[in-house]
Amino acid sequence: MTYFTFTEQHLRNFTESVFIKMGCPEKDAVLAADVLLKSDLRGIDSHGVARLSGYVRLWEKQRINATPNVTIVHETPTTATVDGDGALGLVAAPFAMKVAIEKARIYGSGWVAVKNSNHFGIAGYHALMAVEEDMVGISMTNASPLVAPTYANERLLGTNPMCYAFPAAKYPPLIVDMATSAAANGKLEIAQRANLPIPEGWAQDKNGVGTTDPNALKSGGSLLPLGSDKDHGSHKGYGLSAVVDILSAVLSGANYGPWVPPFVSFLEPSADPVGAGIGHFFGAMRIDGFRPADEFKQHMDNWIERFKNAKTIDPDKKVIIPGEPEFAAEIERKKNGIPLIDAVVYDLNELALNLGIAKLH
Amino acid sequence: MTYFTFTEQHLRNFTESVFIKMGCPEKDAVLAADVLLKSDLRGIDSHGVARLSGYVRLWEKQRINATPNVTIVHETPTTATVDGDGALGLVAAPFAMKVAIEKARIYGSGWVAVKNSNHFGIAGYHALMAVEEDMVGISMTNASPLVAPTYANERLLGTNPMCYAFPAAKYPPLIVDMATSAAANGKLEIAQRANLPIPEGWAQDKNGVGTTDPNALKSGGSLLPLGSDKDHGSHKGYGLSAVVDILSAVLSGANYGPWVPPFVSFLEPSADPVGAGIGHFFGAMRIDGFRPADEFKQHMDNWIERFKNAKTIDPDKKVIIPGEPEFAAEIERKKNGIPLIDAVVYDLNELALNLGIAKLH
């Protein structure tokens, strides 16, 4: 595999110009590019500019609205439902998180469900918005059905990620940002490119039999929930995914379960939808609604240090604090640039050609 | 194994009389018994009256306060921290959930962290209190350290359960109530009694090597997080457990991580605590803070029906709706009584003898 490395600024300019070309207002283009770049900076290559052409294809099919009117359609002092009006999730999600933060500022907490939206990038971006305000940040989203619940031979749930972020004092925020499936689809794609088998427990084939074939999804198989099988708690991964689906979509009025529209443009959304678009859910809670923020952060530092210094099985493998590798990547990539694999670079250059903008490289 | 079956009322009277004998005010005794009985009724035998003598032993060691002054020590309109004053978690938790529900009634949502508490029974009891008010109910608690984070050879986290409950219309509430470890300690205890090996992926031995020995915990081993190993997402189970620990204890001022006091009376709490007692976290959100409750419940019914009727691998194993087997058990046991294994009956009879109350049987 060949990598090309780009500065953050170069990728950012390119990404903004793509969104501008789609017809997004400039501030939306800047925001959407910021969400994608954050993913690339943090080393989550599957959710950054690698998806840019996917968003454009959905826009070409008129499944993404570049000039949406994102509005609050229902609210109480601390809850709200936002209608994304078919927006990029990269735009609707930060809008909703700001509403949650504003409510939390006044009442201690804020909770916002979003319908009629699209893929929102990394969950962590939105949760971290709250952390900057000394709040706990929570974000989740449902997604195209790829995962079979325990005992099912059918894809009924997405990899439905949930994210919780907490500020610390001298350490970076502790952030748990995880798909509720055993493995993310991106990991299967890596195995496909390398032509390597995947571990048992990630996927089942079209007959519901566990498989190590990295192409299982393409031939009618399904991903498995976190826990992999019933003996190891796959009903828990299924349960968590259900929680994300219900909070994101049954609460907001979006599509849920097998009705969630596919991210890929070559698959059509359900002809018989149960809601609007895909759904997200966001929360913000003021730390000082529970105890002084400084006190909390001191204890977070203590928590982090105790876990970092845990006795380990292998002296070369320390216990990892959730979110720490991503913060380390962000520092490194801000300095040394963001590497993209050749396939992504070619894809972006082709996109530039089609849109009539300057190539990436 | 021999079972003895008791009516709900008989077990309830016995349990109340134990709490009264501990010196609990009558309304606390009634409430605490209700929490335990709910667990037995729902078929979660590990968390019901089987634990009664454990609570009494902690009380004898003055680690449970039978006459606590449970109070709100910090609050905003929608958040609060409750000091349990060393109460039974069975008493402090419903108190806190009521505070959350009351705040939700006024402001749309309510969130309460609890410190200085003890084991709270099943998480589901508390979450379901909110469901009865047409709210989403959330409850979690940290617990005695038994679980090693990914790469660690040390018990730093409890089985830290999280619970989310949602009302439906014609179906019982959908309730996800799960330990964040691969398997609950109760499952190891069942294997110990039957002298059977446990599946790989549940526990590691004192050297951090995966084991099938059901006695692994007793000989210095640890439980593993949901996901079992890094390849299958144990870092996600570790992350979820961390979220529960932080919301329950770092936010409230309780002990966290390895400092959480042990449930068993023969192990002493840390001489160097970082907070007070164990911690819980509760949330309540009004459904109609997002969309009309009837609309939500219709869609929950649709969600449930779609998943119940999913295409399955084995025609004899249907997809299970989270919480459904427990509701079925509740109906069955209310009618036919609650079976207790002989060891639990002997233990309760011995408890009765020590406390000078009528034997169970």
Q: Considering the domain boundaries, does residue A23 fall inside one?
A: yes
Q: Considering the domain boundaries, does residue A127 fall inside one?
A: yes
- Taking only the tens place, the pLDDT of each residue in A54-92 is 999 999 999 999 999 999 999 999 999 999 999 999 999
Asked whether residue B148 falls in the same domain as residue B272, the answer is: yes
Q: Percent of chain B beyond pLDDT 90?
A: 94
- Taking only the tens place, the pLDDT of each residue in B123-133 is 999 999 999 99
- Taking only the tens place, the pLDDT of each residue in B199-222 is 999 999 999 999 999 999 989 999
Identify the domain containing residue B19 by its residue range.
Answer: 1-64+324-361
Q: Considering the domain boundaries, does residue B208 fall inside one?
A: no
DSSP-derived secondary structure letter, A185: H
Q: How many CB pairs under 8 A join A and B?
A: 272
- So what's the pLDDT on residue A94? 98
Asked whether residue A270 falls in the same domain as residue A157, the answer is: yes
Within 8 A of A109 by CB-CB distance, chain B residues are 76, 78-79, 109, 111
Is residue B135 within a helix (H) or strand (E), and if so which, with residue range?
Answer: strand B135-141
Asked whether residue A136 falls in the same domain as residue A82, the answer is: yes
- Taking only the tens place, the pLDDT of each residue in B131-183 is 999 999 999 999 999 999 999 999 999 999 999 999 999 999 999 999 999 99
> For residue A317, what are the contacts with CB-CB under 8 A and spacing of at least 6?
B151
CB-nearest to B199 from A199, A232, A302 is: A232
> For residue A295, what are the contacts with CB-CB under 8 A and spacing of at least 6?
B253
Distance in angstroms (rounded) separating the CA atoms of residues B328 and B130: 20
Asked whether residue A32 falls in the same domain as residue A82, the answer is: no
Asked whether residue A117 falls in the same domain as residue A153, the answer is: yes
Does the beta-carbon distance from A320 to B151 stay under 8 Å?
yes
B139 near B281, Cβ under 8 Å? yes
Does the beta-carbon distance from A258 to B152 stay under 8 Å?
no
Averaged pLDDT, B282-302: 98
DSSP-derived secondary structure letter, A320: P
- So what's the pLDDT on residue B182? 97
CB-nearest to B310 from A108, A111, A154 is: A154
Does the beta-carbon distance from A251 to B291 stay under 8 Å?
yes
Find the closest chain B residue to A236 by CA distance.
B178
> For residue A5, what are the contacts with CB-CB under 8 A and spacing of at least 6?
A336, A337, A338, A339, A340
Beta-carbon count within 10 A of B141 CB? 32
Alpha-carbon distance B266 to nearest alpha carbon in chain A (angstroms): 24
Does the beta-carbon distance from A302 to B251 stay under 8 Å?
no
Does the beta-carbon distance from A199 to B232 stay under 8 Å?
yes
The amino acid present at A77, given as its one-letter code, is P
Within 8 A of B227 by CB-CB distance, chain A residues are 182, 226-227, 232
Q: Considering the domain boundaries, does residue B314 fall inside one?
A: yes
Find the closest chain A residue to B254 by CA distance.
A299
SS3 call for A132: coil
Alpha-carbon distance A234 to nearest alpha carbon in chain B (angstroms): 9
Asked whether residue A34 falls in the same domain as residue A178, the answer is: no
Instruction: State which residues of chain A have pLDDT below 50.
Output: none
pLDDT of B122 over the 80 cut = yes
- Taking only the tens place, the pLDDT of each residue in B7-24 is 999 999 999 999 999 999
- So what's the pLDDT on residue A195? 86
- So what's the pLDDT on residue B171? 98
Does the beta-carbon distance from B310 to A152 stay under 8 Å?
yes
Does the beta-carbon distance from B289 to A111 stay under 8 Å?
yes
CB-nearest to A285 from B111, B178, B300 is: B111
- So what's the pLDDT on residue A8? 98
- So what's the pLDDT on residue A188? 86
Asked whether residue A9 falls in the same domain as residue A103, the answer is: no
Asked whether residue B173 falls in the same domain as residue B229, the answer is: yes
Comparing B244 with A187, the larger pLDDT belongs to: B244
Q: Considering the domain boundaries, does residue B215 fall inside one?
A: no
ipTM for the predicted complex comes to 0.98
For tokens 């309730």, what's the residue?
B175
Within 8 A of B296 by CB-CB distance, chain A residues are 250-251
Does the beta-carbon distance from A290 to B252 stay under 8 Å?
yes
Domain of A30, CATH number, reads 1.10.1530.10
Alpha-carbon distance A142 to nearest alpha carbon in chain B (angstroms): 14
Does the beta-carbon distance from B289 to A252 stay under 8 Å?
no
CB-nearest to B151 from A183, A251, A312 is: A312
B139 near B269, Cβ under 8 Å? no
Does the beta-carbon distance from A275 to B299 stay under 8 Å?
yes
Q: Considering the domain boundaries, does residue A191 fall inside one?
A: no
- So what's the pLDDT on residue A192? 86
Read off the pTM: 0.98
Domain of A72, CATH number, reads 3.30.1370.60
Asked whether residue A157 falls in the same domain as residue A254, the answer is: yes
Find the closest chain B residue to A317 by CA distance.
B151
B128 near B137, Cβ under 8 Å? yes
Q: Considering the domain boundaries, does residue B213 fall inside one?
A: no
Does the beta-carbon distance from A290 to B153 stay under 8 Å?
no
Which of B268, B290, B312 is at the close of a domain? Answer: B290
Asked whether residue B236 falls in the same domain as residue B125, the answer is: yes
Asked whether residue B74 falls in the same domain as residue B49, the answer is: no
- So what's the pLDDT on residue A361? 84
Cα angle A265, A271, A277; round to 5: 60
Within 8 A of A291 by CB-CB distance, chain B residues are 74, 81, 251-253
Q: Considering the domain boundaries, does residue A319 fall inside one?
A: no
| Number of domains present in the structure of chain B | 3
Asked whether residue B168 falls in the same domain as residue B311, the answer is: no
pLDDT of B1 over the 80 cut = no
CB-nearest to B233 from A174, A182, A209 is: A182
